[in-house]
Chains A and B, each alone.
Chain A
Amino acid sequence: MSPFAAALLQSELLPEGLDISFKALPSVLVVGMLLIFLAIGFVFRVADTENMWVAGRSIGNLENGMAIGANWMSAASYLGMAALIATAGVYGLAFVVGWTTGYFILLIFLAAQLRRFGKYTAPDFVGDRFNSDTARAIGAVTTFLIGFVYAIGQARGMALVGLYIFGDLGFLGLSGYQAMVIIMMSITVGYLTLSGMLGATKNMAVQYVILIVAFVAGLYAVGFANGYSTVLPHIEYGALITTLSAEFSEPFVNASYYLWIATAFSLIVGTCGLPHVLVRFYTVENERTARWSTVWGLLFICILYFSAPAFAAFGTDLYAQNIGAVYGDPGMTSSAADVIVVLAAQLSNLPQWFVGLVAAGGIAAAIATTAGLFIAGSSAISHDIYTTIINPDATQRQQVLVGRLSIVLLGVLTTLAALDPAAPIAALVSYAFSLAGAVLFPMFFLGMWWENTNREGALAGMTTGLTIWGISMVNEVVPTYIGGLEAPLSASLATWMPAIGSALIAVPVVFTVTIVVSLATDEPPMETKKIVRQCHSPEPMRQQQTAEDVVTDGGEEMAADGGRAADDGSTAGPAATEE
């Protein structure tokens, strides 16, 4: 087993070197920040489902870009990425590359088309595009699983950083870390239950600003205090690299070229299939805004991602000077690495309130992302499984109630799994990306770009994707939760289809299965094909309009009059049926 894989499986959860004690000023910062979130959530509280899911679709470029950024910059980016770059060197950069460059693929192939399709959730897309409630259910289960796996990493991050701020609060026989998991998750769920997505969206812009300021200010302060950098630490850390251990920058010492490619590929396609990312495109006014807010979102994400390797370089150097050797045995533990951003600030002897600010940013990152994940996961349950399949006559009240109950359920499951997590933050999150990439990305891509993709093809493809992902998870991750089993069950399977990058194998297989089965069975109905065509038509659509509205209400007229008249004609259509 490589040193990197060994580091992945450590679950030592008391970060060495981190000052674990109750700290008044940083506590006030965190509590104050959370109160601001709750207050904003309260002001924008909502009771009807339309607002709950997509914020009435009224959000512009910049704000949506910030929401994309905040949604993206989870504990995995804020804490986990610097951690992997510090411990796994060049392999850690696969995360920087995968988590940014995937947005370009999303932009050129999917963003605007999905906005035109105009459905609220990933399962809605799959269900409506392939005319199948089974497909919808698989999509919903996948969305729920993604939210769950992804959130475990967030919970681990919140709790580790919480240790620095609130100290060791072990109660009821729980360790300090475990107590912190429960406290932090209760806060997240409480906040989410109060506000719907409109509140969350407004908050996400606020959270983005807090988070990026905390991270970048932390980087500048650490760089300046130790004489590493002055005006542009994002470039200046380059000069430090040669003085660090060779493991930091030498290629393929911690992981193979194949694992690098598999990981980056998985993260890229996962980006294009992640439900809580895609739901952001349903909240914008039109497809042009969908495109530009992706560009803005990527810019906001890059600001953090250019900073993370610099933070990792500074942190690695400070750790080696103050605590011990970073690499080798024992080396830096995965829990210390996961808080290296906070640790670097602490070891730089910066004022306590300032270190607290950096730590608070980490908590904000985790809460913002968990919020988005839980919304997507709960809407999968209440909207796609409950309302669409179980109880089609559900009232608004019932839907909102089921939505809130499923948020609580997700919170409880996540808390339990995070009490003894199987891997560091970034690895946990990557499993969710592999799943999104293997199951949802091929459906979005083929569903949008090949109109003959049909129900049978989609069902076969999604089942194949789930199976492949499941095999790699059972091989490597599940055994760590079960006593007496050693992970991985098969070392050669783990080498060629690593759980962290299983989409590299899954995506081509799922594409092939979907295409072959679609070709072997009947073509989808003409109306479905027309909806796909409408998603690619350059003709603008109105804010509340979906591709289906156009096809069912205005299609005929549009063909005859060339657009204008049909547009006016169909204006009355959907409005009349809705009110």
Chain B
Amino acid sequence: MTSLYDRIWSAHVACERDDGQNLLYIDRHLIHEVTSPQAFEGLSLNSRNPWRLSSNLATPDHNIPTRNRAQGMSGIDDPIAKEQVVTLDDNCKKFNIRQFELLDVRQGIVHVVGPEQGAVLPGMTVVCGDSHTSTHGALAALAHGIGTSEVEHVLATQCLVQRKSKNMSVDVIGELASGVYAKDIILGLIRQIGTAGATGHTIEYMGEAIRSLSMEGRMTVCNMSIEAGARAGLVAVDDTTLDYVQGRPFAPKGSRWHKAEAAWRTLRSDADAQFDTEVTLDVTGLAPQVSWGTNPQLVISVDEAIPDPATFDDAATAETAARALDYMALRPGELLSEKPLDKVFIGSCTNARIEDLRAAAMVARGRSVSSNLNAALVVPGSGLVKQQAEKEGLDEIFKNAGFEWRDPGCSMCLAMNDDRLMPRERCASTSNRNFEGRQGHLGRTHLVSPATAAASAIAGRIVDVREYLQ
């Protein structure tokens, strides 16, 4: 009767406070420069210390430039951004927190770095002051995005005040066609259940299509759980999980590995587990998905026409859709393939792992980026992803095709650094949010998979990548 979520939850409730709140013990706390300074300041003001230093791992990612990395801090031109990165550095030194600094090859987007290092392990509770912490659920870790007050709370108490969420199962059945990826699954799901479809729930992704995904693919799916409103996303442990974790720097070794492995094998839902909400997504015949609007629910298949807001059954979605059409400069009935692109972005914690870069490179190989693009960026998720890609010659494929090969960071996913859209520029992006202005003031974002992004860079407009794979 026990679900995977119930299992991890009950193994981590340290105690119940008199006010009925649960204190959920946190195994791993990931930290970055944007949501932590006020939390560290709070600790200092109250003369408090981190509860358990070894649970914390920090790296700068949101604000940093993706060029001139070799110059370190002095390569950051924006003085306000620099102050934030320096502040993270200072705080890590002051409190003795392990950090992968700007010049460390292990630096990268916090959600890429955690699993890559084995710093996130199956069965862990994980938090980070960032909503895409849900990524780590791919390893059967219960991972919550938290606010800055909670960052301070976890630093000071090693616990998160939590109430148990509802359980949702998402059974992904069928087999993905060639040219269709994990990103298309999650965009298809959010299209089906909506941006608030999983509010108050922890999703467990299951079914053959999930089992057949690599860990990278599962991370892409779990990453965007938050875009469906979920508190977390999970995938049960299987051989794919264990193969991925084994041998990573922070993972247990030797006899400890065997003990851990035995414990991790139980990290699944019982066959008769009950879920508050059950969803099925059939991916048979699923086409590459692309967002046309300003939230990740406004999604169509690449060959579909832009829908008419009048056809949406609820008034709020219709209103949101109408506003989105206006912002995106689109009309009902148009095809996205008729709209020239200005930029393409391949990167972010959703799609900047090695497998993503391989998928994009496969399409880019021997082709060239359309001359109507102002820029096509490839931003690896971490220094180690970058290194691996270079070992495989992917950087050469990208550069020869006319892509820019950058240093790791969040980059144009949220455009806090110089990588951004100019007003009214249209972009195919492998990131996770197409909100107004997310990639730059008045910028227009279309969320797609890395392969679709690469094909669209070549064509200069959003195209069906399946035509590029034959």
Asked if A and B bind, the verdict is: no
